[in-house]
Structure 1
């Protein structure tokens, strides 16, 4: 049995759309692509290195796969991101898509018609952790299907108003424990939450 980790960059109001560049995802008229870039700092870099230090396989929605496939295979061997590019290019990519025949990036595999069933089957296997990047619609399905074991968030000090969000109101209720938390020099709140169990309730009302 292996873990499924959801990793995401989010704004203070929960938007995760197009964090890396202006043309990354303009759907819905989103005008703030690249909103994470001005805040990147040493803490951000350390969090990324720690996230990708363990063996992993990627679980991606089709739009995120398209963005990644258009970028990572083209990173120069002597570029700043060459190490991460080698990791992404080599690892298995499990993709939610109806066009599996067009997955031409090395080691990419379609999850098939039953995406949730396919992810559940992947989790039941032995192997490295399963790691999401972006893929808001897919992540929402995973949260609604009780498949997420860990959530790693980088929360940036910005409000974006509209845009694709991490949480859509359909996540299965669950309790998570804060396993790690730190604030970067530029104000990015870096947190790791691990699944703990059911939601517990209580009352502050006077007897």
Structure 2
């Protein structure tokens, strides 16, 4: 059985929109694209390397797919990101899209009309884990239907105020356990959480 891993760059106020550059995703008038870049440091780089060190298939929403498909196949061989480009180009990409005929990046597969049903089937199969990148709307669907096994979050010390959020109001109530956590020199908190079970409650009130 595969695990479904949500990996995300997130601000202190839960925004994940446009982390990599000013023009990455300006929808809704988002004006802070590239907000992760000033915080990049060796711990950040090592965490990215570790995330992609295990076998995985990519799981992408259509907007993130289009951003990736316009970038990674065009990375030159002498670029510092060439290794990651080769990896992303080679892995299978499962895409939530209403336009399956336009998936022209190699090894791309449409999830079909029933995205959640298709993902339940994929999770039940043998194969590499399913790893999200970006894809905020899709991630919110996954959290609402309790499909997420692991959260791999990089929380950056910045408030963005507006933008697409990681967690929606319809996220399934569930407990996660903290597996690992490290703080980078620039203040990025890199945390990995595993699904642990139902939410338990209690009271600090005096009897």
- TM (norm. structure 1) is 0.99
Deviations 1:105-142 (A, max 9, x none): 00000001001011111101100000000000000000
Match of residue 167 from structure 1: 167
Deviations 1:65-122 (A, max 9, x none): 0000001001111211111111100000000000000000000000010010111111
The number of aligned residues is 207
Deviations 1:145-185 (A, max 9, x none): 11000001000010000000000111100010000001000
Match of residue 23 from structure 1: 23
Give runs of aligned pairs for residues 14-53 of structure 1, distance below 5 A. 14-53=14-53
What SS class does the counterpart of residue 123 from structure 1 fall into? helix
Match of residue 132 from structure 2: 132
Does 2:123 correspond to 1:99?
Answer: no
What SS class does the counterpart of residue 120 from structure 2 fall into? helix
- TM (norm. structure 2) is 0.99
Give runs of aligned pairs for residues 194-205 of structure 1, distance below 5 A. 194-205=194-205
| Bigger mean CA deviation after superposition, 179-188 or 77-86 | 77-86
CA distance in 2 between counterparts of 1:194 and 1:78 reads 37
Runs of 4+ residues deviating >6 angstroms: none
CA distance in 1 between counterparts of 2:188 and 2:71 reads 25
Segments of 5+ residues of structure 2 without an aligned counterpart are none
Does 2:74 correspond to 1:77?
Answer: no
